[in-house]
Structure 1
């Protein structure tokens, strides 16, 4: 069983912002596998389904980004999911737009949502799909809560689809295979 978590902030004003990429990817996986994310529990919205023979729980925390660990630990404990089977998808400023990076473990890298998840799980050993949003020329908060330009949006739509495939690959083939397949791929305009 896998818990697939997309990080983001709830509310219409955050829809399609850089910081909500995790929600967008979870929505793509949900659509592909006909999973309705319409239940409220674990301080978030979630739905259950299958990828092949694996049961998956898709979770969108409603705690706001910096408290995402509260939602993740509640769902993981309820379903008794191993940390190694918790996949977290989120935006990453240290990665260029058009790229993603799959990792099996690691530090928070300055991302407060991941920092909070690491604190609550008491571990940094869980797979992640880090989606590049590029470096800001402006205030970081304004940047991550801002929307992509039209040109960037074209690239991001393709990266979101690729990120969903990377999540599916982690479930079906394992983290190493997903890393080999998706790390280093760059989508251009």
Structure 2
């Protein structure tokens, strides 16, 4: 089943542009740039949108923990089922330089995913999870995700984003198994 909505998660505003939590935004910015498209604000969908062929790209302006409001607004308006939605987000539980594609699942204690599941009423959307590493203790997570990665971590994250961008035609066409084989075998640069 082809993907008709790709949502990248992050926080709006210049304070958060370079923070780990914005890995989903980084990915979508690169995807749009490759297609020579630009995002424009859309108040109806609470985010910035553009379109590549028949697929919407969405960067919610609702802040991470309320991402579902934006995604559900666009999905409901265009009658896009959860199975045709791909959410791209940072993943604390994966080492930096790891990227994984997954069908469905829980929220993994990710507040953005928790809100999306609640607002869509479904867990059956795809997730592209970009590893950002873990600070070691739960008390350090908020500060960690809301700060810039180290130079080495940024290089590793950029590497997996660039590699995953090459697989987007397969993912967007719904050829997930083939894309997973490539993505799940990526190594650090």
TM-score by length of 1: 0.92
Shift of 1:70: 0.4
Q: Are the equivalent residues in 2 in contact too, given 1:96–1:132 (CA < 8 A)?
A: yes
Residue number in structure 1 paired with 2:171: 170
Coordinate RMSD, CA, aligned: 1.4
Q: Distance in 2 between matches of 1:174 and 1:118?
A: 23
1:151 equivalent in alignment to 2:146 = no
Residue number in structure 2 paired with 1:92: 91
Q: Distance in 1 between matches of 2:169 and 2:32?
A: 11
Residue number in structure 2 paired with 1:3: 5
1:48 equivalent in alignment to 2:51 = yes
Shift of 1:176: 2.2
Q: Are the equivalent residues in 1 in contact too, given 2:130–2:157 (CA < 8 A)?
A: no
Q: Which 4+ runs in 1 deviate beyond 4 A?
A: none
Cα distance per residue 1:77-105 (max 9 Å; x no partner)? 11111211110000001001011010011
Residue number in structure 1 paired with 2:110: 111
Shift of 1:173: 4.5
Q: Distance in 2 between matches of 1:91 and 1:167?
A: 17
Residue number in structure 2 paired with 1:64: 63
**1:17–1:168 CA distance, 2 compared to 1 (3 A):** farther
TM-score by length of 2: 0.92
Which of 33, 39, 42 pairs up with 2:41? 39
Which ranges in structure 2 are unaligned for 5 or more consecutive residues? Answer: none
The more displaced of 13-22 and 37-46 is: 37-46
Q: Distance in 2 between matches of 1:99 and 1:169?
A: 19
